[in-house]
Amino acid sequence: MSKLKILFVLYPGVTHLDFTGPHQVLSRAPDSETVVASMGGQDIEAEGLTFTNLADLSKVDRCDVICVPGGFGTTAAMLDEAFMAEVRRLGAGATYQTSVCTGSLILAAAGFLKGKKAACHWAWRSMLEPFGAIVSDERVARDGNVITGGGVTAGIDFAFVMLEELAGRDYAEAVQLGLEYAPAPPFNSGRPELARPEVLAQVKARMAASADSRAEAAMLAAERA
């Protein structure tokens, strides 16, 4: 019997914690193989880190779990027809279609989220609407075989939900203990409803520069989908 295959799909401009967090957890799933792939197996630079020795996405024959992380590169990735064709191919054959952060926009552009509840980073979740997704503000949203995490660090929570699904709660809790995952952030500022108004305004201003181009890309990708 073949091993469970967990596939992380990378592209230029990905946020590395979107996939390295879940990768750390899911690479410990029993009887599994974790594959990280990009188009042509190209190296992927992500915020100063370069990921190399990647599989060629077009040569990955199948997967049981496809996970698409997010990042500012999502905008271009949604409109890359060759990349999206591979996401559709592999996602269609997967048991679970999953994402972290704005990776859900890519899942949506691939046609997997129509009528499905899905999470996304708080700043971009409204962009799921043109794809017919049901927008969720949950840290981890599940709708059947679609499991999506919210922004960046929510990917770790997503990974434990996924690990429980694959290996059971006892196993997932044991991995959680082994990784000492007991978050206790020094600031209570991790969600817009919790952040101080001046902090929220600062972050919104920083993201505003890319908002229009991403919204345009989402609308175009939705039309294609």
- Is there a catalytic annotation at residue 63? no
**Of 20-29, 148-157, 203-212, which range is least confident?**
203-212
Q: Are 157 and 149 in contact (CB under 8 A)?
A: yes
HSE-CB of 177 using CA atoms within 13 angstroms: 6
Straight-line distance from the first to the last Cα atom of the chain, in angstroms, rounded to the nearest whole number: 35
- Please state the separation of Cα 115 from the chain's center in Å: 18
Selected catalytic residue, list 63, 67, 101, 120: 101
Q: Which two tokens stand for residue 152?
A: 């960046």
Please name the amino acid found at residue 136: S
Instruction: Give the chain's largest Cα–Cα span.
Output: 55
pLDDT digits (tens, 9 = 90+) for 128-144: 999 999 999 999 999 99
Q: Are 31 and 90 in contact (CB under 8 A)?
A: no
Q: How many helices (H) and strands (E) does the chain have?
A: 7, 11
pLDDT confidence of residue 65? 98
**Residue 1: pLDDT band by 50, 70, 90 thresholds?**
low
Question: What's the mean pLDDT when you consider all of the chain?
Answer: 96
Q: Which residues pair with 7 in a beta bridge?
A: 35, 66
Task: Please give the Cα distance from 222 to 225 (Å, whole number).
Answer: 5
**Residue 71: pLDDT band by 50, 70, 90 thresholds?**
very high
What is the average pLDDT across 90-104?
98
Measured between alpha carbons, how far is residue 124 from residues 35, 36, 197, 222 in Å? 27, 25, 19, 15
What is the average pLDDT across 154-178?
98
Please name the amino acid found at residue 169: R
Task: Please give the Cα distance from 191 to 170 (Å, whole number).
Answer: 29
pLDDT confidence of residue 210? 86
**Dihedral sign, CA of 44, 56, 34, 90?**
positive
Domain ranges of the chain: 4-224
pTM of structure: 0.95
What is the average pLDDT across 23-31?
97
What is the average pLDDT across 87-110?
98
Q: Are 30 and 61 in contact (CB under 8 A)?
A: no
Q: Are 160 and 23 in contact (CB under 8 A)?
A: no
pLDDT confidence of residue 167? 97
pLDDT confidence of residue 225? 79
Q: Which two tokens stand for residue 11?
A: 């592209």
On whether the 4-224 domain is CATH 3.40.50.300, my answer is no
